[in-house]
Amino acid sequence: MSEALRVGIAGLGTVGASVVKVLADKAAELTRQCGREIVVVAVSARDRSRDRGVDLAKAAWFDDPVALAKSDGIDVFVELIGGADGPARACVEAALQAGRHVVTANKALLARHGLELAAIAEKNGVLLNYEAAVAGGIPVIKTMREALAGNTVSRVFGILNGTCNYILTRMGAEGLTFEECLKDAQRLGYAEADPTFDIEGYDTAHKLAILTSLAFGSRIAPDDIYLEGISNITQADIRAASELGYRIKLLGVAQRTEGGIEQRVHPTMVPTASVIAQVNGVTNAVAIETDIVGELLLSGPGAGGNATASAVIGDIADIAKSRPGFQHGPVFGRPADELAPYVRAPMRSHEGGYFIRLTVHDRIGVFAAIAGRMAANGISLQSIVQHADGDNGEAEKTVILVTAETTEAAVRKAVEGITEDGHLTTKPQVIRIERAG
């Protein structure tokens, strides 16, 4: 049997502690599967005295994660610190430059510096594995990097943030407000005290940027993503979606077009009968559309200590199974210096059209003005629904429009015109309707 694989772990939060525990509990099984023992020989964290519920007595302690990353006593460096810069970036760079394999769950780091880190890893002939960085326990990175070899990907989309999916699921199932669901998510540990990174779509955007690079062989471009969060979704939107046969999900969508690559993160209406509409709670799902296999949907736990730890351990096991002299594959599916420059495509027409909710003054001529603005921008309407409101003492109506396929620019221009006409009593709501498997 080969010598043991020596692992150093930086970051002993929920995921880090879970990795240590599972490696200990499953030691015999992992040794049989990998043909060698996997041993945690060193760790680094901010607080030595904290009880993490795992046995660290035999592991060397490093106060400085960069020193651990450079240590000759490890073969694999596992980064679970988090953050796009600072200690996380410094120690991953140090490990790769020292010829250590790296496993990370850090999507922000990869979204910002993945190209640079991939180049260092490939130059030094070591692995940079990151399955846990996207969709938790779902093996989407391995699927795209290995299992779909030969396939040309045309589109990848999915539910990539468990916090948002939990909130939207509760709003739909129980009639609760966004604020009520967010408080519950924070109480249960699904959302941070400051939930901005999740609910405004940044977390999803980082994950989507990584998937886009893998799918289309392009450089990572996290700043070229059209971004909307879910904080403006109301019960009025949830109810209207249900009446029309849809559910609202926060989707990350990347697709290849004639004009380049389109990346977007936003609330989306998907048909209630679609598979992705049935993905509820903190569960994630990723759909990949290709020319050979067709559409592939992967679904499972997208967050949490055990799910993320499972992905980290899978990456460590892959390294344990490799042997000296083995030629490792490129980090993003093709060599870093061969990744194509990212060309951002303009937002194009959507097959499902748009949902537009307008709260307007209940007076003569309003509806005709709305219809005129739509016609002036070449927008065909598939359905129009009106509801009388007036709960606040003012005569109001809610007008719900569902458009045929049209462009983002046309919809935005029409809504801006309606707003300028002075007919609206509240901010308009625009949600895309997506074809989904």
- Residues annotated as part of the active site: 207
- C-alpha–C-alpha distance, residues 233 and 221, integer Å: 27
> 194-221: buried (b, 16+ CB within 10 Å) or exposed (e) per residue?
ebebbbbbbbbbbbbbbbbbbbbebbbb
Angle (nearest 5°) at CA 175 between 170 and 179? 65
Nearest to 19 by CA among 314, 319, 303: 314
CB-CB neighbours of 184 under 10 Å: 16
Identify whether the C-beta of residue 259 lies closer than 8 Å to the C-beta of residue 296. no
Count the neighbouring beta carbons within 10 Å of the beta carbon of residue 165: 24
> Which are the contacts of 283, defined by CB distance < 8 A and separation ≥ 6?
159, 162, 165, 299, 300, 301, 302
Closest by Cα among 112, 28, 17 to 55: 17
Closest CA to 389 of 428, 355, 358, 423: 358
Q: Are 241 and 271 in contact (CB under 8 A)?
A: no
DSSP letters spanning 310-329: HHHHHHHHHHHH--TT--PP
Residue 102 host element (H or E) = strand 101-104
The Cα 183–Cα 164 span in angstroms is 12
Tell me the DSSP string of 339-362. SBPP-BPPP---TT-EEEEEEEE-
How many Å separate Cα 384 from the centre of its chain? Answer: 33
Neighbours of 169 (CB within 10 A): 19
The values of phi and psi at residue 57, to 5°, are -60, -35
